[in-house]
Structure 1
Amino acid sequence: MTTSKPDVSIVIGAYEAMPYLIRCLESVEAQTLPAGRMEIIAVDDGSTDGTGEYLEEFAARTAVPMRVVRQENSGGPSGPRNVGLGLARGRYVFFLDADDYFGEEALERMVSMGDRAGTDVVLGKVVGVNRGAAKSMWKETVERADLYSSNIKFTLSAQKLFRRELLVRLGMTFDEGLKTGEDALFTMEAYLRGSGVSVVADYTCYYLVGRDDGKHVTKSGSYLLRFDSARALMGLIAAHVPPGPRRDALMVRPFVITLLPQFGPALLRQSEAVREKKMQLAAPLLDAYWSAGLARRLKVHERLRLACVSKGRLDLLLDVLQFMRDKEEPRAVRKGARGRLYLAYPHFGEGAVLPDAAYEVTVTERIGGRRIDVPERQSTAAFLRRLARKVRRTARAVLHVPWRAHKV
Structure 2
Amino acid sequence: MLKVSVVVPVYNAGPYIEKCAETLLRQSIGPDAYEVVYVDDGSTDDSAERLDRLAERHPHVRVHHQENSGWPGKPRNVGARMSRGEYVQFVDQDDELGLEALERLYALGKRNGSDIVLGKTAGTMAGPSNVFARTIDRCTVETHTLFESLTPHKMFRREFLLENEIRFPEGRCRLEDQLFMAHAYSVAKCVSVVGDYPCYYWMRREDGKNTSSRGLVVDEYFGYLRKVVQTVKAHTRPGPVQDKMLRRTYRVEILRQVSEPYVLSSHRQIEERYEAVRKLVLEEFPPSVLAGLPAVARLRGYLLEQGRLDALCLLAGRTKQMAPRAELGRPRWHEGALTAPVRLHLVHADGKPLTLVERRGRLLLDPVLTEGLPGAEEWEAGDPLNAAYGEIRLSHRGQHIGWYPESDFAVRLEDAGRGRKKPVVSGTMRIDPLTAAGGGPLERGVHDVSAFFQVLGLGRSAALRGDWKSQPLAGQAVQVGTPTRTVIPYWTASRQLAIDIGEFYHRLSDVPGRVTLRQRIRIPAPVRRPLGKAWRYVRG
TM-score > 0.5, shorter chain as reference: yes
Matched, 1:26 2:17: no
Q: Does 1:211 align with 2:234?
A: no
Map 1:76-115 onto structure 2 (within 5 A).
76-115=71-110
Match of 1:194 among 185, 188, 192: 188
CA distance in 1, matches of 2:233, 2:15: 42
TM-fit CA distance, 1:197: 0.5
8 Å contact 1:340–1:375 — kept in the other structure? no
Please list, as runs of the form range in 1=range in 2, the aligned pairs for 1:317-396 lying within 5 A after superposition. Answer: 317-325=312-320, 329=349, 331-338=354-361, 340=363, 342-344=365-367, 346-348=369-371, 352-353=375-376, 356-357=379-380, 361=384, 362-364=386-388, 373=411, 375=413
- Residue 262 of structure 2 aligns with which residue? 266
Structure 1 distance, partners of 2:63, 2:204, is 25
Q: 1:360–1:216: structure 2 CA closer, same or farther, 3 Å change rule? A: farther
Give, as a single letter, the amino acid of the residue that structure 2 aligns with 1:343.
Answer: D
Structure 1, residues 187-216: CA drift from partner, whole Å, max 9, x if none?
A: 221121122111111111111111122223
Equivalent residue runs for 1:6-405 within 5 Å? 6-64=2-60, 66-128=61-123, 130-176=124-170, 179-224=173-218, 225-264=220-259, 265-270=261-266, 274-290=269-285, 293-295=288-290, 297-325=292-320, 329=349, 331-338=354-361, 340=363, 342-344=365-367, 346-348=369-371, 352-353=375-376, 356-357=379-380, 361=384, 362-364=386-388, 373=411, 375=413
> Quick one: distance in 2 between partners of 1:76 and 1:55?
19
State whether residues 140 and 188 of structure 2, in contact with CA within 8 Å, keep that contact through their aligned partners in structure 1: no
Name the CA distance, whole Å, in 2 between partners of 1:120 and 1:332: 44
Question: Which segments of structure 1 move beyond 6 Å, counting only runs of 4 or more?
Answer: none
- The structural deviation recorded for 1:134 is 4.1
Tell me the CA shift for residue 291 of structure 1. 5.0
TM-score normalized by the length of structure 2: 0.62
Once the two structures are overlaid, the 10-residue window that deviates more, 132-141 or 259-268, is 259-268
SS of the equivalent of 2:36 reads strand
Contact 2:319 2:369 in 1 (8 A): no
Q: 1:86 to 1:296 in 2, by over 3 A?
A: same
Alpha-carbon deviation of 1:364? 2.2
Mean Cα displacement is larger for which, 17-26 or 349-358? 349-358
Native 8 Å contact 2:141 2:241 kept in 1 = no
1:291/1:194 CA distance change after superposition, 3 Å: closer
- Which entry has the higher C-alpha Rg, 1 or 2? 1
Alpha-carbon contact 2:70-2:171 (below 8 Å) kept: no
Residues 38, 99 of structure 1: alpha-carbon distance in 2 compared, 3 angstrom cutoff:
same
User: Contact 1:31–1:107 at 8 Å: present in 2 too?
Assistant: yes
Counterpart for residue 431 of structure 2: none
Residues 121 and 163 of structure 1 are in contact (CA less than 8 Å); yes or no, is this contact kept in structure 2?
yes
Amino acid at match of 1:334: V
Higher helix share: 1
Q: Which residue is 1:387 aligned to?
A: none
The aligned residue for residue 457 of structure 2 is: none
Q: CA separation in 2, counterparts of 1:325 and 1:156? A: 27
| Alignment-mate amino acid for residue 261 of structure 1 | R
Structure 2 gaps of 5+ residues are 323-347, 391-408, 415-540
Mapped to 1, the partners of 2:382 and 2:389 lie a distance apart of 12
- Structure with a larger share of its residues in strand: 2
Structure 1 residues 275, 143: closer, same or farther in 2, change over 3 A? same
TM-score using structure 1 length: 0.80
SS of residue in 1 equivalent to 2:139: coil
Aligned-pair identity in percent equals: 33
Displacement of 1:261: 2.4
Distance 1:17 1:188, change over 3 A: same
Q: Deviations over 1:276-319 (max 9, x none)?
A: 43233223332245455433544544333222211111221222
Q: Please say which of residues 183-192 and 238-247 is displaced more in the overlay.
A: 238-247
Q: CA deviation at 1:217?
A: 4.0
- SS of residue paired to 1:93: strand
Aligned partners of 1:13 and 1:44 also within 8 Å: yes
